[in-house]
Amino acid sequence: MGKKGAFTQVDAHRQHLHELGHTDDDIARRMGMIAEFQTVVAGPDGGIPSTAGRKEVEGFARLLVEQGRNTVAAFSALRDYADWLGHRSLTVASSELMDCHNALDVLASVIDKDHGRRVRDRVFPEPPPPLGADEESRSRFTRAATGRMERTLSREGARAAWFQVQHGIPAEAWKRSDAADRATYLRCADIDEFLAVKRAERDELLTRLRDEQKPWYTTEIDDEVLEFVKSDPEMEVGRREGNEVFITKIPYNAVAYLHEKDPTKKRFFACHCSLLREAILAGQPISADACTCSLGHASHYLAGLGEQLEGEVLESVLQGDDRCRFVFRLPSAIVAAPAAKTANSTDPTRRGP
């Protein structure tokens, strides 16, 4: 594994960061974190072993948490280096560590905003696990929090709160892609053409990642996965039927999902939520209201329509299904009118379940 040898890899990566335009201070910080990780997990040649993955990353994260150095910048330095090396298991492990890392903080803030500090404190009597906590710890905390939400909020209130979390991705981060989709939609004759364009973009991206042997986020794309996704118009885009659009999530670990026979493990491989999927393996019950978080995330697939769409979770692995599937209901104007006639629709920054 690697590009020539432990020391030349580090030197080459430093040069790579220079070429990307990173400042000297940022490069020094990143290289210091990489060197520290290499020291902790050093293989026989002093470099990062090809077998390094989740165990090593979580062990290093515990060290950083204890020292108060568990920052997004620290873990990003490790992830970016692993990705540059082509070290797949290390890239996935470090990415998973940061995945949804602030989602519980966002949830607490939403409950505070919508229901008040007293209600928030009943749901969150203690702070969420810190960035760098392992999935088992995050799952245990989230299960307890969802239980308190069920006892404190109405089902509608709990789902509305989760919808706004959207994997912890802030509204600012969505603006560019939402605006790009809006521009695409307005160039299309209607919603069906828009969905077809987005489906073509999906297939082109996944085909390129397959050819370059790069993951889609943390999902490996091989020939079988590519054909599986391309064969389903609902996946990550949506399929219209009357005034409804159905969206199905690509399984998180699609390669394992396609070959798994055990129903519990299959559901685990389908789940994208690092806050909850450990509970699936452990057979621990948890409120499927939390899946409204993914409904909120999926609502951005249709942000180009410029409408506040009502949506619903139809299937989810938390409630025993083997996939996650959503439906969004379209206003009659979108179904009946060309895209240009809806150019003055509302800004697509807030949609509801």
pLDDT of residue 3: 42
Do 278 and 301 fall within a single domain? yes
Instruction: Considering only the C-alpha atoms of the chain, give the largest distance between any 2 of them, rounded to a whole number of Å.
Output: 66
User: What's the pLDDT at 2?
Assistant: 43
Angstrom CA distances, 109 to 118, 203, 348, 351, stand at 12, 37, 22, 18
CB 245 within 8 A of CB 330: yes
Q: Is position 1 within any domain?
A: no
Quote the CA–CA distance of 78 and 234 in Å, as a whole number.
34
Residues of the chain predicted below pLDDT 70: 1-7, 43-46, 337-353
Q: What is the Cα–Cα distance from 167 to 178, expressed in whole angstroms?
A: 16
Kindly report whether the global pTM for this prediction surpasses the value 0.75: yes
Q: Residue 263: give the domain boundaries.
A: 171-342
Looking at the fold, whether 260 and 154 belong to one and the same domain comes out as no
Distance CA 33, CA 256 (A): 32
**The pLDDT of residue 352:** 53
Angle at 101 between CA 107 and CA 284, to 5 degrees: 75
Do 188 and 308 share a domain, yes or no?
yes
> Could you tell me if residue 113 is inside a domain?
yes
Nearest to 302 by CA among 263, 259, 335, 278: 335
Give pLDDT, residue 42. 78
Q: Provide the pLDDT for residue 44.
A: 61
Q: Is 189 exposed, middle or buried (0-12, 13-18, 19+ CB in 10 A)?
A: exposed
Strand 244-248 to 310-315 pairing: unpaired
So what's the pLDDT on residue 46? Answer: 67
Structural domain includes residue 352? no
Domain count, the chain: 3
Boundary-marking domain end, from 71, 98, 125? 98
